C-alpha cells in the first residue's frame, strides 16, 4: 500500500485512541503495537470485546459514514498508527481502478445495510460492535445490480443490442438541419428499453464505455455517410458524439478516432467531439492536450451541459472549443427564471466574442425557439423540432424536411 501521504500517529500504552459515542473523522491501520476494544451497552460499564494487532484496521465506521464511534479503543502497547481520513479515503477511491472502486463501494454498502438491519431488528446499534460482526450477505444491493448491468452491457455490445438514435440539430436562422447528436439506445431482450442515464454511468465505472464509444464513433460516421447519400447531401452535415473522461484518458484516443473517421470517408470536421463541462473542469490539463490533438486532426469540439459545471466563462479561453451546448435546465427555465435567461444571454454573447457556435439543448416549446432565435443563438436541439430517432427515420425526416414555424 502506498502510505507515503498517510500521516502517522503514536500512542503510548494506556492512551485512549478513540472514545465510544464521539464523532470520528479517521480510521487507523495499526502499524505497530496492540489495542483493546471496549464497548458500553446502554451506558453500562465498559466491556472488552477483543484486541487487535499490527496490520488490522480500527475505527473504520468513520469512513463508512458519519456515525459516532461504536467502541472505545485503548493502546495496550506503545502503538504506531497510520491515519486514513474521510477525505483521503474518498480521494483514493475516486482515483482507484474501476473494479476496485466498485468492489469497495459494494462492501461499504453491505456494511451500512448490515448495521441498519441490526437496528431494525430492535438491537442496539452499538451492539455487537461492527468490529465483531461477521459479514455474510446474499441479498442484492444496488452495487451488485450495477455489476450485473455492467456485465450484461458488455455482452449487449457484442450481441448488437446496442444501437444509436440520431437527434437533429437545427440552424435557428434558416430552420434547416445542420447535424445530429448520436445517442445510445439499449433494447434488453428481457428488461426492454434501458435508459442511457442508467447504463452510461455504469459503463463508465466498469470501463466498458471504451468499447461503447468506439462503437458509437464508428457506427455514427458510417450512418452519417449513408444518411447524406440517401438524402442528397455531400459533406455538409455534422455528427456529434458523446465521449467520457475514460475515453480521453485511454491510450491513443485521438489516433484511433482519426483512423475510424478516415475509414468511414467522413471529413474530420464533420465529427464533433462532445465532452461535458464537468470533464473539462475535472481534468483541465489532460483535456487541453487531447482537445488540441483532436483539433489538429481536424475534428470539432463541443462542450456539453454547459452552465452546470460552475466554470467561469473566461476559463474557456484556455481550451480549443468550437461549440458550446447550453444545458437543458436553463432552456426549460428561461421564461420562468431571470437568472437562467441572464445566463443564456451571456453565453450567447460570449460565443460571439470568442467565435464559438452556441447550441441550445432541450427546446420543447415554440416560444423558447423564437426567443433563442431573437437572442442570436446559432443552433438548437429539442423535442419541439425532433426527438432522437433511428437512422431510417432521420433519413426520411431529412428528405421531407418541413421547416418548423417559430
Ligand atoms: P446528453 O448528452 O445531454 O443528451 C441529451 C439528452 O437529452 C438525450 O437523452 C436526449 O434524448 C434528451 N433530449 C433531447 N431533447 C430533449 C428535450 O427537448 N426535452 C427533454 N426532456 N430531453 C431532451 P438520452 O438519450 O436519454 O441520453 C441521456 C444522456 O446519456 C446523454 O445526455 C449523455 O450524457 C448520455 N449518453 C447518451 N448516449 C451516449 C453515448 O453514446 N456516449 C456517452 N458517453 N454518453 C451518452
Ligand atoms: Ca451530449
Ligand atoms: Ca447535454
Ligand 3 centroid from CA 157, angstroms: 23
> pLDDT band for position 128 (50/70/90)?
low
Ligand 2 centroid from CA 49, angstroms: 54
Ligand 2 centroid from CA 272, angstroms: 10
Using the atom order of ligand 1, give the atom closest to the CA of residue 196: 30
Decide whether any atom of ligand 1 lies within 6 Å of the 201 Cβ.
no
Domain boundaries, the chain: 7-140, 144-399
The single residue listed with the C-alpha cell 471496549 is 38
Mean pLDDT of 73-101: 85
Mean pLDDT of 329-342: 95
pLDDT at position 90: 81
pLDDT in tens, 192-244: 999 999 999 889 988 899 999 999 999 999 999 999 999 999 989 999 999 99
| Alpha carbons within 13 A on the beta-carbon side of 367 | 6
Evaluate if residue 74 carries a pLDDT over 50.
Answer: yes
Ligand 2 centroid from CA 286, angstroms: 20
Task: Please tell me the distance from the alpha carbon of residue 88 to that of residue 83, in angstroms, as a whole number.
Answer: 9
- State the pairing for strand pair 8-11/57-58: unpaired
Evaluate if residue 390 carries a pLDDT over 60.
Answer: yes
Residue to mutate (ligand 1; options 180, 195, 196, 218; most atoms within 8 A of CB): 196
Beta strand spans in 19-129 (E): 26-32, 35-40, 46-52, 57-58, 72-75, 79-85
Ligand 1 centroid from CA 288, angstroms: 24
The grid cell for 184 is 445510445
Task: Please tell me the distance from the alpha carbon of residue 402 to that of residue 275, in angstroms, as a whole number.
Answer: 31
Evaluate if residue 337 carries a pLDDT over 90.
Answer: yes
Mean pLDDT of 108-112: 73
For helices 338-353 and 366-375, angle between their N-to-C axes, nearest 10 degrees: 40
Ligand 1 centroid from CA 317, angstroms: 26
More confidently predicted of 337 and 7:
337
**Architecture per CATH, 7-140:** Sandwich (2.60)
pLDDT at position 87: 83
Q: Which of 227, 380, 242 is nearest to 304 (CA)?
A: 242
CB 89 within 8 A of CB 28: no
Evaluate if residue 320 carries a pLDDT over 60.
Answer: yes
Evaluate if residue 137 carries a pLDDT over 50.
Answer: no
Using the atom order of ligand 1, give the atom closest to the CA of residue 327: 3
CB 273 within 8 A of CB 182: no
Using the atom order of ligand 1, give the atom closest to the CA of residue 383: 18
Burial class (CB in 10 A: 0-12, 13-18, 19+), 365: middle
Q: Which helix (H) or strand (E) holds 323?
A: strand 323-326
Evaluate if residue 135 carries a pLDDT over 70.
Answer: no
Residue to mutate (ligand 1; options 212, 242, 250, 385; most atoms within 8 A of CB): 242
> pLDDT band for position 394 (50/70/90)?
very high
pLDDT in tens, 138-191: 334 566 677 778 889 999 999 999 999 999 999 999 999 999 999 999 999 888
> pLDDT band for position 297 (50/70/90)?
very high
CB 370 within 8 A of CB 385: no
DSSP string, 273-319: EEEEHHHHHHSHHHHHHHHHHHHHTT-EEEEEEETSS---GGGGGGS
| Alpha carbons within 13 A on the beta-carbon side of 202 | 19
Q: Which helix (H) or strand (E) holds 219?
A: helix 209-231
> pLDDT band for position 117 (50/70/90)?
low
Mean pLDDT of 383-398: 97
Which residues have beta carbons under 5 A from ligand 3 (an ion)? 304-305, 361
Burial class (CB in 10 A: 0-12, 13-18, 19+), 169: buried
Decide whether any atom of ligand 1 lies within 6 Å of the 162 Cβ.
no
Decide whether any atom of ligand 1 lies within 6 Å of the 304 Cβ.
yes
Decide whether any atom of ligand 1 lies within 6 Å of the 276 Cβ.
no
Decide whether any atom of ligand 1 lies within 6 Å of the 124 Cβ.
no
The answer to whether domain 144-399 has CATH 3.20.20.450 is yes
Ligand 1 centroid from CA 166, angstroms: 10
The grid cell for 16 is 485512549
The answer to whether the predicted template modeling score (pTM) of the entire model surpasses 0.85 is no
Evaluate if residue 366 carries a pLDDT over 70.
Answer: yes
Task: Please tell me the distance from the alpha carbon of residue 73 to that of residue 39, in angstroms, as a whole number.
Answer: 9
Decide whether any atom of ligand 1 lies within 6 Å of the 233 Cβ.
no
Evaluate if residue 402 carries a pLDDT over 70.
Answer: yes
Using the atom order of ligand 1, give the atom closest to the CA of residue 241: 41
Average pLDDT, the chain: 87
Amino acid at each position: 500500500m502506498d502510505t507515503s501521504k498517510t500521516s502517522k500517529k503514536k500512542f503510548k500504552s494506556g492512551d485512549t485512541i478513540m472514545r465510544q459515542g464521539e464523532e470520528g473523522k479517521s480510521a487507523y491501520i495499526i502499524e505497530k503495537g496492540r489495542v483493546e476494544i471496549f464497548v458500553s451497552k446502554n451506558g453500562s460499564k465498559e466491556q472488552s470485546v477483543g484486541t487487535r494487532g499490527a496490520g488490522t484496521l480500527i475505527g473504520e465506521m468513520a469512513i463508512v459514514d458519519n456515525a459516532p464511534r461504536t467502541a472505545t479503543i485503548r493502546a495496550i502497547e506503545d502503538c504506531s498508527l497510520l491515519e486514513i481520513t474521510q477525505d483521503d479515503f474518498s480521494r483514493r477511491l475516486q482515483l482507484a481502478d474501476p473494479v476496485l472502486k466498485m468492489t469497495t463501494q459494494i462492501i461499504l454498502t453491505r456494511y451500512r445495510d448490515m448495521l441498519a438491519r441490526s437496528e431494525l431488528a430492535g438491537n442496539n446499534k452499538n451492539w455487537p460492535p461492527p468490529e465483531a460482526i461477521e459479514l455474510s450477505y446474499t441479498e442484492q444491493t444496488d452495487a451488485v445490480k450495477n455489476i450485473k448491468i455492467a456485465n450484461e452491457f458488455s455482452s449487449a455490445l457484442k450481441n448488437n443490442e446496442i444501437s444509436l438514435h440520431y437527434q437533429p440539430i437545427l440552424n435557428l436562422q434558416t430552420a434547416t438541419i445542420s447535424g445530429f447528436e448520436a445517442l445510445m439506445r439499449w433494447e434488453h431482450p428481457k428488461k426492454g428499453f434501458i435508459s442511457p442515464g442508467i447504463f452510461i454511468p455504469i459503463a463508465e465505472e466498469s470501463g466498458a464505455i471504451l468499447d461503447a464509444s468506439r462503437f458509437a464513433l464508428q457506427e455514427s460516421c458510417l450512418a452519417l455517410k449513408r444518411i447524406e447519400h440517401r438524402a442528397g447531401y455531400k459533406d455538409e452535415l455534422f455528427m456529434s458524439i458523446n465521449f467520457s473522461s475514460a475515453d480521453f484518458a485511454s491510450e491513443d484516443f485521438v489516433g484511433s478516432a482519426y483512423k475510424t473517421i478516415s475509414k468511414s470517408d467522413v471529413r474530420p470536421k464533420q465529427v464533433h467531439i462532445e465532452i461535458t463541462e464537468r470533464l473539462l473542469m475535472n481534468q483541465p490539463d489532460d483535456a487541453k492536450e487531447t482537445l488540441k490533438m483532436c483539433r489538429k486532426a481536424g475534428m470539432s469540439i463541443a462542450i456539453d451541459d454547459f452552465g452546470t459545471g460552475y466554470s467561469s466563462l473566461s476559463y474557456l479561453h484556455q481550451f480549443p472549443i468550437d461549440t458550446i451546448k447550453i444545458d437543458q435546465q436553463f432552456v426549460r427555465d428561461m421564461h420562468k427564471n431571470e437568472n437562467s435567461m441572464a445566463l443564456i444571454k451571456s453565453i450567447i454573447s460570449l460565443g460571439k466574442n470568442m467565435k464559438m457556435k452556441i447550441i441550445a439543448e432541450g427546446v420543447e416549446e415554440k416560444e423558447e425557439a423564437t426567443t433563442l432565435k431573437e437572442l442570436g443563438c446559432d443552433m438548437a436541439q429539442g423535442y419541439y423540432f425532433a426527438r432522437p430517432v433511428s437512422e431510417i427515420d432521420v433519413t426520411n425526416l431529412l428528405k421531407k424536411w418541413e421547416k418548423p414555424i417559430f
